[in-house]
């Protein structure tokens, strides 16, 4: 049985990141759900049992090197994720102009509640630095859209 790590490769992220580790006979071919729209690679880490989910992975010399991310690496990773989540939320609101409906007095109670949930989500995402485990552990709010 071999040990494989799925390493996220995404130019918009500050570093390549181990997203999942599995044990298998052969190199897995699926893309883990947590990879989202990112690309990635399955890397055999059988000889390196210390590798953990969340670690940095780099391959500058043709050989994969893994290390724990620094505080600064994690801060950059969280900051980039915040920008991406808020951008997605902003795009959703452009297609669902709930604030305009509320301002014009034509919003249904459900739409008013949805706008409130949207605003709470945006505040939650933007206040990641206030969480007690930041940036080592971050609990992301669930998008209401």
Mean pLDDT of 15-39: 92
Is 36's pLDDT higher than 90?
A: no
The mean-pLDDT minimum among 31-45, 63-77, 93-107, 126-140 falls in 31-45
Q: What is the DSSP string of 11-31?
A: TTSSS-EEEEEEEESS---SP
Say yes or no to pLDDT of 37 above 90: no
pTM for this entry: 0.83
Write the DSSP string, 97-111: -HHHHHHHT---HHH
Q: Is the pLDDT of residue 38 over 90?
A: no
The ranges assigned to domains in the chain are 2-67, 71-130
């Amino acid at each position: 049985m071999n040990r494989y790590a799925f390493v996220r490769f995404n130019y918009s992220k500050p570093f390549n990141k181990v997203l999942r580790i599995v044990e298998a006979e052969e190199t897995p071919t699926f893309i883990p759900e947590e990879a989202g729209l990112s690309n990635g690679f399955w890397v055999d880490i059988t000889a390196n049992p210390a590798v953990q989910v969340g670690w940095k992975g780099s391959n500058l010399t043709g050989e994969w090197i893994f290390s724990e991310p620094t505080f600064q690496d994690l801060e950059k990773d969280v900051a980039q994720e915040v920008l991406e989540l808020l951008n997605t939320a902003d795009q959703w609101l452009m297609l669902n102009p709930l604030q305009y409906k509320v301002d014009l007095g034509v919003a249904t109670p459900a739409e008013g509640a949805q706008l409130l949930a949207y605003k709470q989500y945006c505040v939650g995402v933007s206040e990641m630095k206030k969480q007690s485990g930041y940036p080592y552990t971050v609990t992301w709010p669930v998008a209401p859209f």
